Amino acid sequence: MASITIDGYKTECNCAHCGRPLKLGVVTAERGTIGADCMVKLVAKNKARFSGNGKPSAEGVKQLAIIATKGIDYASRMYGYSARHFVFEAA
């Protein structure tokens, strides 16, 4: 199964998926820099991981991108996140 990994964020860029201008782009290892809304569309539903419709929220994806930019040590110390928190299954 293909995955999408959040590596960080970039400001003032264009989405590699739809071309839309972005204030904040989510940098991914596999899909380039994409908008949070496109990221949500590209990930598989996972009801065990996400409540509601089984998708992360665009806001949640943006927050993860900001945290990822600060590094895994920061993510671990501040949020208890490990690398897998930044990896999503592609739809």
Interface with Zn ion (CB under 5 A): 15, 17-18, 20, 35, 38
Are 5 and 30 a contacting pair, CB within 8 Å? yes
Task: Find the shortest distance in angstroms from Cβ 20 to Zn ion.
Answer: 5
Task: Find the shortest distance in angstroms from Cβ 76 to Zn ion.
Answer: 29
Task: Find the shortest distance in angstroms from Cβ 41 to Zn ion.
Answer: 8
Angle at 26 between CA 58 and CA 77, to 5 degrees: 85
Question: Is 20 or 47 the residue whose CB approaches Zn ion more closely?
Answer: 20
Helix, strand, coil percentages, rounded to 5, for the chain: 35, 30, 35
Question: Is 35 or 56 the residue whose CB approaches Zn ion more closely?
Answer: 35
Question: Is 57 or 82 the residue whose CB approaches Zn ion more closely?
Answer: 57
Angle at 34 between CA 44 and CA 14, to 5 degrees: 155
